[in-house]
């Protein structure tokens, strides 16, 4: 009880230093175990500031005991950040700065040598309720140690039956280059399968464009495009892209340095439901088969197949067109 009152007094004086008064406060208990095995317990106080800035509406003061060592951390953020003690072994602070289309920030806290540290943060941009882009910041110089632990256990956490939350899946973006070097196509396929089951298709798109298929995709994320499907065909890249601003589909074939053919069509409900997507150019139909195990392109002229290409198995991006609004 004595420690609690000291904590309240410190909070009061800290608020004065910030020339702020709490309009609303809430005391919360928190406990768990970090991914490195350190157990912790403690409290955090939520303070709704009465003179908020645009991105500093609230303040949270953490006071944690990590394996007998006292630690503190202050977070400044939005109206009502969501705090979660993850099964992954981190504390995540999910902060949405407004409505469905507003950006969000996820801050990850962990433990190094019984010290509470900010591992990093991921900033998310949304469109139509889905994440379309991100930036990240690894702020602690010991993040490589945490990364190595996460990557060692990535099969257990991200593929097997461990329940994880929405913010958990973004933590891999703090070490995306290491992630790419430490995974194979089987793991990627399993990872995407689990994300599909959890209806996290927007996360699939983020990993496709920014990590696993970054060097091959022909979709232009800076021009409102998402990866709907893709694969290698005879050393060339095929990408089917969804432009969510123009509400159309694009067929691109070639390489990132040279697009050899680009076709555009208005998206239909049938395109979202069917495994076949057809683009037409001067009487020639380019029929994309996205069915698992049968992926490829069939080129028809006057209903006669003139060419039929199969996708290279280890290069296939999953078809996620059915998840787009």
- Say yes or no: 224 and 205 in one domain: no
Dihedral over alpha carbons 53, 57, 61, 62 (to 10 degrees):
-120
pLDDT surpasses 70 at 2: no
- Residue 259: other Cβ atoms inside 10 A: 14
pLDDT at 53: 74
- Say yes or no: 166 and 17 in one domain: yes
Residue range of the domain that includes 297: 217-323
d(CA 152, CA 254): 36
- Say yes or no: 40 and 107 in one domain: yes
**pLDDT tens digits, one per residue of 36-51:** 899 999 999 999 988 7
pLDDT surpasses 90 at 179: no
- Say yes or no: 259 and 187 in one domain: no
pLDDT at 325: 53
pLDDT at 271: 72
**pLDDT tens digits, one per residue of 52-107:** 776 688 999 999 999 999 999 999 998 889 999 999 999 999 998 877 778 999 99
- Say yes or no: 123 and 48 in one domain: yes
Q: Give the residue from 210, 231, 257 where a domain finishes.
A: 210
Identify the burial level of 111 via C-beta atoms within 10 angstroms of its C-beta, where 0-12 means exposed, 13-18 middle and 19 or more buried.
buried
- Say yes or no: 37 and 153 in one domain: yes
**pLDDT tens digits, one per residue of 114-171:** 999 998 999 999 887 888 889 888 666 666 777 778 888 888 999 998 889 999 999 9
Q: Give the residue from 210, 227, 261 where a domain finishes.
A: 210
d(CA 91, CA 105): 14
d(CA 23, CA 50): 5
User: DSSP characters for 42-69?
Assistant: EEEEEEEEEEEETTEEEEEEEEEEETTE
CA distances from 163 to 19, 121, 166 (A): 42, 21, 10
Q: Give the residue from 210, 239, 268 where a domain finishes.
A: 210
- Say yes or no: 294 and 249 in one domain: yes
- Say yes or no: 50 and 106 in one domain: yes
- Say yes or no: 239 and 119 in one domain: no
- Say yes or no: 319 and 193 in one domain: no
**Total domain count, the chain:** 2
């Amino acid at each position: 009880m004595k420690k609690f009152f000291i904590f309240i007094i410190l909070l009061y004086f800290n608020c004065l230093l910030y020339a702020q008064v709490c309009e609303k406060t809430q005391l919360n208990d928190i406990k768990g175990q970090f991914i490195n095995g350190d157990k912790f317990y403690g409290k955090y106080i939520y303070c709704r500031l009465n003179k908020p800035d645009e991105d500093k509406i609230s303040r949270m003061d953490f006071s944690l005991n990590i394996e007998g060592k006292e630690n503190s951390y202050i977070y400044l953020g939005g109206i009502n950040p969501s705090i979660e003690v993850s099964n992954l072994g981190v504390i995540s602070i999910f902060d949405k700065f407004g409505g469905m289309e507003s950006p969000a920030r996820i801050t990850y806290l962990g433990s190094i040598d019984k010290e509470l540290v900010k591992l990093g943060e991921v900033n998310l941009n949304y469109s139509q309720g889905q994440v379309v882009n991100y930036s990240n910041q690894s702020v602690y110089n010991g993040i490589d140690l945490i990364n190595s632990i996460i990557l060692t256990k990535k099969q257990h956490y991200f593929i097997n039956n461990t329940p994880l939350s929405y913010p958990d899946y973004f933590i891999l973006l703090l070490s995306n280059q290491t992630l790419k070097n430490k995974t194979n196509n089987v793991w990627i396929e399993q990872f995407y399968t689990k994300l599909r089951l959890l209806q996290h298709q927007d996360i699939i798109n983020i990993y496709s464009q920014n990590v696993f298929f970054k060097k091959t995709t022909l979709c232009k994320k800076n021009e409102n495009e998402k990866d709907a499907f893709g694969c290698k065909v005879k050393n060339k890249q095929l990408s089917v892209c969804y432009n969510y601003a123009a509400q159309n589909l694009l067929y691109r074939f070639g390489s990132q340095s040279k697009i050899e053919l680009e076709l555009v069509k208005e998206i239909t409900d049938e395109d979202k439901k069917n495994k076949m997507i057809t683009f037409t150019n001067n009487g020639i139909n380019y029929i994309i088969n996205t069915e698992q195990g049968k992926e490829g392109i069939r080129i028809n002229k006057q209903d006669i197949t003139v060419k039929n290409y199969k996708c290279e198995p280890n290069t296939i991006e999953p078809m996620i067109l059915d998840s787009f609004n």
